[in-house]
Chains A and B, each alone.
Chain A
Amino acid sequence: MGVAPPQGHPMPMTPLTQRRLANFRANRRGWWSLWIFAAIFVVTLFAEFIANDRPLVARVDGQWFVPVLSDYAESDIVPDGFPTEADWHDPQFRREIAERGGWMVWPPIPFAYDTVVRDLGRPAPAPPSARNLLGTDDQARDVLARVIYGFRISVLFGFTLTIVSSVLGIMAGAVQGYYGGLTDLLFQRFIEIWRGMPELYLLIILASIITPSFWILLGFLLLFSWMGLTGVVRAEFLRGRNFDYVRAARALGVSDARIMARHILPNAMVATLTFLPFILSGSVVILTSLDFLGFGLPPGSPSLGELVNQGKNNLQAPWLALTGFVVLGLMLSLLTFVGEAVRDAFDPRKLPGGGR
């Protein structure tokens, strides 16, 4: 008997969801990829606590300081310091703190993405060493720190772009498919024209006028990326609007917006969700390639594309290109594996046992 208990209204999970979850788990590669990706992402979310050019905590003269969270002037910490921002790497400053019996706890990587490592003892880029595990780039910045921050910004950018463009794309596709007729016709012609716009040229023009920030770049890419899902959603809505239960809902007086959201969208979500991980990896690739070309995030930002570009310019320093390659390859592979597992999860013919 598959009848749910009468008290189970806010049901924790429908049988369908349980089945999908089981299908997702059955794809071991995707399941583990999700966890590895999530672990890396959560770690990089706390990048400031892992790679930073200031200590996590410091105690000087019986006073606590938390440099990772707030800025201190040198004079706040030692009485004869300058009233300028403390440079915790400065050897003289550190000696002074040590003389006063103070101590500090450093993050595992004592460099932020923009810290210039001064005492390399050799011209940058420096090869990997015990201090700079992945070496430094050609501006003497620690590669590992930049990779951690770069991963975070790539994924956050990708997530934001994916979510916002999916929401816009689903709404556009839903309106097209549900109303059909002239609405659909005009919308389709508009999309055809809009899709023909030379996105890269426009971006180059934009980059020559202003320096694109994270949000400007996101908004600009959104102008074009929302079209990715409209086709699928439109097709699902064209199909769904003729379902008998959609007709029945209309006969009950359900409004158009509610019919779209409650009665057709859940059916269209399967096709949509299957696409999401691939759209996410696509967004990451777009940002990386723009950074590689120099039209992406402002100079100095930790970005994987810029790392790849440095690798191209410094072939004598193979650790730059190798790191960029491995990090990007790993991130995109993980996302693709997760995407495959999501696709399996929503495949109605696939059984959790792996059979068909």
Chain B
Amino acid sequence: MKEPLLTVENLAVAFAGRRVVEGVSFTIEAGETLALVGESGSGKSVTALSALRLLTGAGSNPEGRIRLDGVEVLTAAPAARRRLRGGVAGMVFQEPMTSLNPLHSIEQQVGEAIALHRPLPPAALRARVLDLLHQVALPNAEERLGAYPHQLSGGQRQRVMIAAALANDPKLLIADEPTTALDVTIQAQVVELLRELQARHRLAYLFISHDLRVVRALAHRIIVLKDGVVVEQGEAEALTAAPRQPYTRALMAAAFDLRALRTTDLRAAAPEAVAP
């Protein structure tokens, strides 16, 4: 049997003695999209950041096992870890406004991501940057090479971020709420772009969102988190069609019917029986 691309077993993360993620396990196969869903503070981002051991300070030493592309992430040497970051798994963040260095041009931004993992001569580097910008469908890519982040719109910046994350043909893209800070029409475009890229490169996604509409459009499987524990998981269609847990139902209701927020209180909808 072939090993999954990413295996997370019994992940537990604690900040200052308080467990924020407890006993989370999942696997992602190549080309598959797994969505982590939950309200703010449910531990989705912490889980995703732990996959590349990106947390600093108190949370930098999670318990459990994380295996990415055959490498034990938690015990890997710093250099091996840096190869994983950006090389095997790219990452897209929520805030396109602040995730690009304001002092670097688009070309420098994306070029740095490439040069880190495989140094290219300047001309080839520029060609590769342009190629990436075309792949993410950044309009007028040639003219935008020298542009600075403040000269781009939110959606364009998110495209640049995705280009940088894709720079080294990663197998996995970790997207931490990539559409949350964008308005609805741009969200649809970015979702469409992510779908295209997945089809073209057989990318796997670890997709984090609280927005079930976006998740339903992208994910193959869904894991619902609440207070750091897995509440429910399953195939995307089955889960969204017939959520078993009241918490999932509440999330669904909140996503698809804003009026429902008045009647369903997410806090009250506690999980019924949670496997430890």
**A249/B101 in contact, CB under 8 A:** yes
CB neighbours of B93 from chain A (8 A): 244, 247-248, 251
Q: Interface stretch among B79-87, B192-200, B209-217, B259-267?
A: B79-87
Q: Is B231 part of the contact surface with A, judged by Cβ < 8 Å?
A: no
C-alpha gap A5/B93 in the complex (Å) = 29
Interface residues of B in 26-69 (CB under 8 A from A): 52, 54, 56-57
**A263/B101 in contact, CB under 8 A:** yes
**A3/B113 in contact, CB under 8 A:** no
From B54, B86, B116, B126, contact of A247 by CB (8 A): B54
**A6/B146 in contact, CB under 8 A:** yes
Q: Is B164 part of the contact surface with A, judged by Cβ < 8 Å?
A: yes
Chain B interface, number of residues (Cβ within 8 angstroms): 40
CB neighbours of A267 from chain B (8 A): 103
CB neighbours of A262 from chain B (8 A): 104, 112
Chain A: CB-nearest residue to B98:
A244
C-alpha gap A249/B111 in the complex (Å) = 12
C-alpha gap A3/B152 in the complex (Å) = 10
Q: Is A9 part of the contact surface with B, judged by Cβ < 8 Å?
A: yes
**B103/A250 in contact, CB under 8 A:** no
From B57, B103, B112, contact of A181 by CB (8 A): B57
C-alpha gap A262/B102 in the complex (Å) = 12
**B105/A253 in contact, CB under 8 A:** no
Q: Is A215 part of the contact surface with B, judged by Cβ < 8 Å?
A: no
- Given contacts A6-B146, A245-B100, A251 and B85 within 8 Å (CB-CB): yes
C-alpha gap A254/B104 in the complex (Å) = 15
- Given contacts A244-B98, A253-B87, A5 and B57 within 8 Å (CB-CB): no
From A6, A241, A247, A252, contact of B143 by CB (8 A): A6
From B57, B91, B95, B145, contact of A252 by CB (8 A): B91
**B98/A253 in contact, CB under 8 A:** no
Chain A: CB-nearest residue to B58:
A181
Chain B: CB-nearest residue to A181:
B57
C-alpha gap A244/B93 in the complex (Å) = 8
CB neighbours of B95 from chain A (8 A): 244
Q: Most chain-A Cβ atoms within 10 A of its Cβ — which of B91, B93, B142, B146?
A: B146
Q: Is B117 part of the contact surface with A, judged by Cβ < 8 Å?
A: yes
List 3 A-B pairs, minimum CB-CB distance, nearest first. A4-B146, A253-B86, A251-B91
Q: 30 interchain pairs (CB within 8 A)?
A: A3-B143, A3-B144, A6-B142, A9-B107, A9-B126, A9-B145, A16-B103, A180-B57, A243-B98, A244-B93, A245-B98, A245-B99, A245-B100, A247-B93, A248-B99, A250-B54, A250-B85, A251-B52, A251-B85, A251-B90, A251-B93, A251-B174, A252-B85, A252-B113, A252-B165, A252-B167, A253-B82, A253-B87, A254-B82, A262-B104
Taking A16-B103, A251-B86 as given, write out 8 further A-B residue pairs in contact, using a Cβ cutoff of 8 Å, ordered by the A residue number.
A3-B143, A8-B146, A9-B145, A244-B99, A245-B98, A250-B85, A253-B86, A253-B87
Could you list which residues of chain B lie within 8 angstroms of chain A, going by C-beta atoms? 52, 54, 56-57, 82-87, 90-91, 93, 95, 98-105, 107, 112-113, 116-117, 126, 142-147, 151, 161, 164-165, 167, 174
